[in-house]
Structure 1
Amino acid sequence: MPAKPLAAAPGPSVAPVAADLPPPAEGTPDALRLWLSTRFHKARQRTAELVAPLGVEDLMVQSLPDGAPAKWHLAHTTWFFESTVLEPCASGYRTFDPVFHQLFTALDDRFGQHLPAPVLRLLSRPTAAEVMRYRDHVNGAVLHLIDQIPEERLEDISERVQLGIVHERRHQERLLSDVKHAFWSNPLRPTYEPPATLPPSPPLEQTWVGHAGGVVEVGRDDPSPGFDHERPRHAVMLRPFALAGRPVTCGEYLEFMQDGGYAKPTCWLGDGWEAARAEDWQSPLYWEWREGGWQVFTLYGMRPLDPHEPVCHVSWYEADAYARWAGKRLPDESEWEAVAACKECIGNLLGTGHRHPRPGVCRGTEGPWQLFGDVWEWTRSAFMPYPGYTPVESDGAQSGRFMANRMVVRGGSCVTPFDYATPTTRHFLRPTTRTAFTGIRLAEDA
Structure 2
Amino acid sequence: MRGLTADLQRFTRKATRKAPSKATLTERYSTIRRYSEYVCEPLATEDYVVQPSADVSPPKWHLAHTTWFFEEFILARYYKNYTRFHPQYSFLFNSYYESVGTHVLRADRGNLSRPTVEEIFQYRGYVDEHMHWLLRDFPAEALPILEIGFNHEQQHQELLYTDIKFILGHNPLFPAYRKEIKETPHNETDHDFISISDGRYTIGHRGSGFSYDNERAAHTVLLKAFSIRKSLVTNGEYMQFMQAGGYQRPEYWLSDGWAWVKEEHITSPMYWHFTDGTWCRYALSGLERVNPEEPVTHVSFYEAAAFATWKGMRLPTEEEWEAAAPQLPWGLRWEHTNSAYLPYPGYEKPDGALGEYNEKFMINTMVLRGASAVTPENHSRKTYRNFFYPHLRWQFNGIRLCKK
Q: TM-score, normalising length from structure 2?
A: 0.93
Asked if structure 1 preserves the Cα contact closer than 8 Å seen for 2:204 and 2:217, the reply is yes
Per the TM alignment, residue 79 of structure 1 is displaced from its structure 2 partner at its CA by 0.4
Structure 2 counterparts to residues 146-161 of structure 1, below 5 A: 146-149=135-138, 153-154=139-140, 156-161=141-146
1:260 pairs, out of 236, 245, 255, with: 245
Q: Distance in 2 between matches of 1:198 and 1:268?
A: 28
Taking only aligned residues, the RMSD between alpha carbons, in angstroms, comes to 2.1
Instruction: Quote the residue 1:281 is aligned against.
Output: 266
| Structure 2 partner of 1:347 | none
| Conserved? CA contact 2:232–2:399, under 8 Å | yes
User: What's the offset of the Cα at 1:111?
Assistant: 2.5
**1:435 matched to 2:394:** yes
Matched with 1:107 is: 96
Give yes or no for the alignment of 1:395 onto 2:316: no
Q: Partner amino acid for 1:405? A: N
Q: Hey, what does 1:381 align to over in structure 2?
A: 339
* Letter of the 2:389 counterpart: R
Q: 1:66 to 1:381 in 2, by over 3 A?
A: same
Deviation at 1:400, TM superposition (A): 1.2
* SS of match in other structure, 1:145: helix
Question: Displacement, 1:221?
Answer: 2.8
**Aligned residue number for residue 164 of structure 1:** 149
Q: 2:306 aligns with which of 304, 318, 321?
A: 321
- Residue 66 of structure 2 is matched in structure 1 by 77
Q: Structure 1 residues 22, 116: CA separation in 2 closer, same or farther (over 3 Å shift)?
A: closer
Count of paired positions: 397
Q: Following the alignment from structure 2 to structure 1, what is the Cα–Cα distance between the partners of residues 205 and 187? A: 36
1:408 matched to 2:385? The reply is no
Paired position in structure 2 for 1:37: 26
Match of 2:328 in 1: 368
Contact 2:183 2:283 in 1 (8 A): no
Q: Structure 2: where are the runs of 5+ without partners?
A: none
Confirm whether residue 193 of structure 1 aligns to residue 178 of structure 2. yes
For residue 418 of structure 1, give the secondary structure of its aligned residue in structure 2. Answer: coil
Q: How far off is 1:115 after superposition?
A: 1.1
Q: Distance in 1 between matches of 2:77 and 2:6?
A: 33
Residue 200 of structure 1 and its aligned partner are, at CA, apart by: 9.7
Q: Give CA-to-partner distance per residue, 1:74-121, whole Å, 9 cap, x none.
A: 001000100000000111211111111111111353332111122211
Q: Are the equivalent residues in 1 in contact too, given 2:246–2:310 (CA < 8 A)?
A: yes
Q: 1:16/1:280 Cα in 2 relative to 1: closer, same or farther (>3 Å)?
A: farther
Provide the residue aligned with 2:384 in structure 1: 425
Cα distance in 2 between the residues matched to 1:396 and 1:314: 31
Q: Tell me the CA shift for residue 408 of structure 1.
A: 0.3
Q: Which moved more, 1:196-205 or 1:380-389?
A: 196-205
Partner residue in 1 for 2:86? 97
| Pair 1:141-2:101 in alignment | no
Q: Is the 8 A contact 1:167 1:396 kept in 2?
A: no
Structure 1 runs of 4+ aligned residues shifted over 3 Å read 196-203, 222-226, 394-398
Contact 2:169 2:271 in 1 (8 A): yes
| TM value normalised by structure 1 | 0.85
CA distance in 1, matches of 2:200, 2:94: 43
Q: Which residue of 1 aligns with 2:292?
A: 307
With a CA cutoff of 8 Å and minimum separation of 6, indicate the structure with the bigger relative contact order: 2
Deviation at 1:240, TM superposition (A): 0.1
1:82/1:138 contact within 8 Å kept: yes
* CA distance 1:33–1:124, shift in 2 (3 Å): same
Runs of 5+ unmatched residues, structure 1:
1-12, 343-366
Aligned residue for 1:236? Answer: 221
Does the residue aligned with 2:202 lie in a helix, a strand or coil? strand
Structure 2 counterpart of 1:92, one-letter code: N
Residue 357 (structure 1) aligns with: none
Whether the 8 Å CA contact 1:23–1:35 is kept in 2: the answer is: no
- Which amino acid in structure 1 is aligned with residue 402 of structure 2? A
Is contact 2:304-2:399 (8 Å) kept?
A: yes
